[in-house]
Structure 1
């Protein structure tokens, strides 16, 4: 009985900290909330802000970008539309699930990466966003922003 009760308490605690399923029901990608477990190109606050992701050219399709991101370790496409996609990343060791949203607008890729559980992510979402940027730059799908060497 004690183990079951402890298990239920842990389960309810995790669900209480959970941000739930898909991040935005509709495009576009949004800014982050107030917890420091999120980064977004759409946020203007330094803690949460990602540098812009300009498309390499006007012919780049979101489907190609999503395919490239989905090939990264732990990635899975949850939903994809013409100009919006939601992907889920599962960490290897503890199996935490983080959400990544991408959308296209004005020759830019908007990107948001956020943890589902907990308050602080120890920089995991920023590292993931940086890895996504490197992957897309190497694939010549996005350009480095001006001033980024």
Structure 2
């Protein structure tokens, strides 16, 4: 009986070890091969003075989260818009320069009042969509940053936006 229990324990330990090594390795290689990038959302941009609402999972931030009072993750997603003084178009151009200088980030769309960039995480190659909209009526630049896939982003989008804000506020 003892040999049987010992055999089961050894097999269980091997199985757990196998899962602990193989599963993370498979996920890592899936990311390296581009299987974790997700699809480009077709509903990005500004519609009626609003960026897309925050995600229904805790993996996005939006300076317009308050516009969606019944949204279940409004509190999680809420982040301040970018403030500036002077010319809004110059402020947006400054943001575009910051985005261009960021590693693993590609500025996809740049118009007079809107920026859209795709940012890729370093290890697993998740792609996040980052948008900025110059709102002349409010004299701010609204921001939305969201992961394409996954339920949680472990504050990656918030951290990215706050890092961009820190660079933006430097003269």
Is 1:108–2:140 an aligned residue pair? Answer: yes
1:94 counterpart residue number: 124
Pick the structure with more helix per residue: 2
Quick check: 1:23–1:99 contact (8 Å CA) kept in 2? no
Q: Higher relative contact order by CA 8 Å / sep ≥ 6: 1 or 2?
A: 1
Which among 46, 52, 71 is matched to residue 81 of structure 2? 52
RMSD (Å), alpha carbons: 2.6
Is 1:132–2:164 an aligned residue pair? Answer: yes
2:114 counterpart residue number: 84
The structure whose Rg is larger is: 2
Deviation at 1:31, TM superposition (A): 2.7
Quick one: distance in 2 between partners of 1:87 and 1:111? 11
The 10-residue stretch of structure 1 (102-111 or 50-59) with the greater mean CA deviation from structure 2: 50-59
Quick one: distance in 2 between partners of 1:23 and 1:34? 17
The 10-residue stretch of structure 1 (59-68 or 42-51) with the greater mean CA deviation from structure 2: 59-68
Deviation at 1:25, TM superposition (A): 4.1
1:8-39 C-alpha deviation (Å, 9 max, x unpaired): xx8xxx68x94x21464432423303111000
Quick check: 1:31–1:41 contact (8 Å CA) kept in 2? no
DSSP-derived class of the 1:67 partner: helix
- Structure 2, unpaired ranges of 5+: 1-29, 67-73
Quick check: 1:30–1:43 contact (8 Å CA) kept in 2? no
Residues 124, 82 of structure 1: alpha-carbon distance in 2 compared, 3 angstrom cutoff: same
Residues 57, 116 of structure 1: alpha-carbon distance in 2 compared, 3 angstrom cutoff: same
Aligned length: 128
2:55 counterpart residue number: 33
Quick check: 2:55–2:146 contact (8 Å CA) kept in 1? no
